[in-house]
């Protein structure tokens, strides 16, 4: 029995433990979908997967509660697969290993999946408990939220009957979210010319940036954390290129909505300049630690020589990130041409990353931001992916266009995809009024009412179901989308107690 199953409320924690045993990285939903379908059918409830793979489970109103408005309880089934570099874990096959750390529950070197496993667990607890009082309930568990909100986008009008949606995907207990930012993916691709480095006169060096905290590119974009891609590009442009290094490959980040924690580059440099590169790397690490010491206490930037064979004509070079290079010694090592290297690095360097603007009327709340989430340079091609967020449609377009403008200067192809609108707040919402009263009666204080910078599925679902009354809330989570992800144990009991009471006190039809 896992330790977390002894926590309260046990009905929630037992289901969360069960969820952690089911692999569910984004893009691999078969196992978790089957798990949820078996669960709903096992309770004798109407249970099915819709045409895109979302799971829907219906539970009738308890006797005497038929007069309450129908409520949709919504969460997403996928999790962000992130792990520390020294951890061996296959997210498509291995369960998440959890442990209790004081008042927090964490995973051992990986993301925990509390985002949004805690929401799913709470829904399962409600569906299973026949002692609760509530009106008609529909559980909606969407697929692939983290990689593009595919499940929410695929939801068909008329699929659900409820009038109220409670999204259980927020991360601060005691806060009710009534609006969120919209977003758009900016996808960049282009080509560059390659030359060949003379391996008799040059040395291959691997640059590694590790140990950053990363995190959710919406919820934690304002925390002052370093972006591994931006930091690596900065070194390659300002230091390595000046010394004479040419890029063989670069790669950083692997999720569109996670602040990248690691970046790696393989460069070739004249033998006589290797010491200059190592000195520059050492100085750069000190610069980064001075700039980000308050937020990045485990930052590491290192340079290491890759030994090349002396006699073999062919060599297989394994990389510290995905992939490898097959080298024919006599032909030299493929590297970026200096002119193209400068142009691509300039474009990446110039792109905005992080918070651009706060909401003028709500000080301290992020309005517009971008995250340089993924960068790849290899085999004559370069790619970059950005997630732009804003609660202002015009500012979202503006920031996306500034990124496009940077890359048009190097003749790259720029495509916008996955755009979704924000969720506009309704301060006169009936469910908001009801839940504020419930929270105060339970805990003796008013909940905070907020607009969140992260992208929630509420905006997309609301577009498919006009007039839907919506609130997002949840237990307290920290550092989702990173191996430092954790959930605050005392908040789970308050969150679930609040959820149950909110169902019992739902507005009348």
The residue annotated as part of the active site, out of 78, 150, 367, 457, is: 78
Contact 315, 306 (CB under 8 A): no
Angle 392-396-397 (CA atoms, 0-180°, nearest 5)? Answer: 120
Q: Are 97 and 108 a contacting pair, CB within 8 Å?
A: yes
Q: Is the N-terminal amide bond of 9 cis, ω within 30° of 0? A: yes
Give, in order, the Cα–Cα distances in Å from 398 to each of 364, 385, 426. Answer: 21, 17, 26
Collect all residues with Cβ–Cβ distance below 8 Å to 274 and sequence separation of at least 6: 203, 205, 305
Q: Is the Cα dihedral 318, 79, 477, 419 positive or negative?
A: positive
Structure tokens at 322: 């995905």
The continuous run of DSSP H or E covering 333 comes out as strand 333-336
pTM value > 0.85 = no
What's the CA gap between 193 and 348, in Å, rounded?
17
DSSP H or E run through 477 = strand 477-478
Can you tell me the distance from the alpha carbon of 392 to that of 30, in angstroms, rounded to the nearest whole number? 36
CA distance 311 to 309: 6
Q: Which residues pair with 107 in a beta bridge?
A: 98
CA atoms within 13 A on the CB side of 198: 4
Name the strand (E) or helix (H) holding 30: helix 30-42
CA 8/CA 364 separation, integer angstroms: 34
Among 251, 354, 257, 261, CA closest to 299: 261
Q: Which residue has the tokens 């045409």?
A: 51
Paired sense of beta strands 55-59 and 71-76, if any: unpaired
Q: Which of 138, 145, 173, 457 is catalytic?
A: 145
Domains of the chain: 3-181+422-504 (3.40.630.10), 184-420 (3.30.70.360)
Rg (CA), the chain: 25
**How far, in Å, CA of 372 to CA of 507, rounded?**
43
Q: What is the pLDDT along the chain (509 residues), one digit of tens a residue?
A: 458 999 999 999 999 999 999 999 999 999 999 999 999 999 999 999 999 999 999 999 999 999 999 999 999 999 999 998 789 999 999 999 999 999 999 999 999 999 999 999 999 999 999 999 999 999 999 999 998 899 999 999 899 999 999 999 999 999 999 988 999 999 999 999 999 988 889 999 999 999 999 998 998 999 999 999 999 999 999 999 999 999 999 999 988 889 999 999 999 999 999 999 999 999 999 999 999 999 999 999 999 998 765 555 666 667 666 666 666 666 678 899 999 999 999 999 999 999 999 988 778 889 999 999 999 999 999 999 999 999 888 999 999 999 999 999 999 999 999 888 888 888 899 999 999 999 999 999 999 998 889 888 998 999 889 999 999 999 999 999 889 999 999 999 999 999 999 999 999 99
The Cβ of residue 493 has, within 10 Å, a number of other Cβ atoms equal to 16
Closest to 134 in 3D by CA, of 474, 468, 506: 506
Provide the 3-class DSSP secondary structure of residue 295: coil
Q: What b-and-e string marks burial along 133-148, b requiring 16 or more CB atoms within 10 Å of the CB? A: bbbbbbbbbbbbbbbb
Token duo for residue 102? 């004081």
Q: Is 78 labeled as catalytic in the residue annotation? A: yes
Give how far Cα 295 sits from Cα of 211, 224, 227, 298, 349, Å. Answer: 11, 7, 12, 9, 22
CA dist 80 and 86 (Å) reads 18
Q: Where are the beta strands (DSSP E) in 347-412?
A: 354-358, 366-378, 381-390
- DSSP 8-state code for residue 335: E
Give me the pLDDT at residue 1, please.
Answer: 41
DSSP assignment string, 41-94 = HHTT-EEEE-TTS-EEEEEPPPTT-TTBPPEEEEEE--B---B-TT----TTTP
Q: Helix (H, G, I), strand (E, B), or coil: what is residue 397?
A: helix
With vertex at residue 416, the alpha carbon angle to CA 78 and CA 412, rounded to the nearest 5 degrees, is 120
Residue 502: its H or E element: helix 489-504
pLDDT of residue 447: 97
Strands 137-142 and 71-76: parallel
């Amino acid at each position: 029995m896992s330790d977390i199953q002894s926590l309260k409320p046990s009905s929630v924690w037992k289901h969360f433990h069960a969820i952690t045993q089911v692999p569910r990285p984004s893009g691999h939903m078969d196992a978790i979908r089957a798990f949820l379908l078996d669960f709903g059918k096992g309770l004798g409830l109407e249970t099915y997967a819709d045409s895109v793979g979302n799971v829907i489970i219906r539970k009738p109103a308890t006797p005497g509660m038929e007069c309450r408005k129908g409520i949709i309880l919504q969460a997403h089934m996928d999790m962000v697969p992130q792990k520390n570099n020294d951890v061996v874990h296959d997210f498509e096959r291995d369960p998440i290993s959890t442990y209790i750390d004081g008042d927090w529950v964490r995973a051992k070197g990986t993301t925990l999946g509390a985002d949004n496993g805690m929401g799913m667990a709470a829904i399962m607890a409600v569906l299973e408990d026949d002692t609760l009082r509530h009106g008609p309930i529909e559980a909606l568990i969407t697929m692939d939220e983290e990689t593009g909100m595919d499940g929410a986008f695929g939801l068909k009008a008329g699929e659900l009957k409820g009038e109220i949606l409670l999204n259980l995907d927020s991360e601060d207990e005691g806060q009710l979210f009534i609006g969120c930012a919209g977003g758009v993916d900016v996808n960049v691709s282009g080509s560059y010319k390659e030359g060949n480095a003379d391996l008799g006169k040059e040395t291959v060096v691997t640059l590694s940036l590790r140990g950053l905290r990363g995190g959710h590119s919406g919820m934690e974009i304002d925390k002052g954390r370093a972006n591994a891609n931006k930091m690596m590009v900065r070194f390659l442009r300002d230091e390595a290129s000046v010394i004479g290094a040419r890029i063989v490959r670069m790669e950083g980040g692997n999720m569109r909505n996670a602040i990248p924690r690691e970046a790696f580059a393989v460069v070739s440099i004249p033998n006589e300049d290797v010491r200059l590169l190592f000195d520059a790397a050492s100085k750069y690490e000190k610069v980064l630690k001075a700039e980000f010491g308050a937020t990045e206490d485990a930052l590491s930037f290192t340079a290491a020589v890759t030994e090349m064979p002396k006699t073999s004509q062919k060599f297989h070079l394994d990389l510290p990130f995905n992939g490898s290079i097959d080298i024919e010694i006599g032909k030299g090592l493929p590297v970026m041409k200096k002119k193209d290297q400068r142009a691509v690095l300039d474009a990446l360097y110039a792109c905005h990353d992080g918070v651009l603007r706060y909401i003028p009327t709500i000080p301290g709340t992020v309005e517009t931001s971008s995250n340089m989430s993924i960068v790849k340079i290899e085999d004559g091609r370069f790619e970059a992916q950005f997630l732009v967020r804003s609660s202002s449609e015009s500012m979202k377009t503006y920031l996306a266009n500034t990124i496009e403008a940077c890359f048009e200067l190097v003749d790259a192809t720029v495509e916008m995809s996955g755009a979704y609108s924000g969720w506009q707040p309704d301060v006169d919402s009936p469910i908001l009024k009801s839940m504020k009263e419930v929270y105060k009666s339970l805990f003796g204080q008013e909940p905070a009412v907020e607009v969140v910078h992260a992208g929630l599925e509420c905006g997309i679902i609301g577009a498919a179901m006009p007039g839907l009354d919506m609130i997002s809330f949840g237990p307290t989570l920290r550092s989702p989308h990173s191996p430092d992800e954790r959930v605050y144990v005392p908040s789970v009991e308050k969150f679930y107690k609040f959820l149950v009471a909110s169902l019992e006190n739902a507005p009348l039809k």
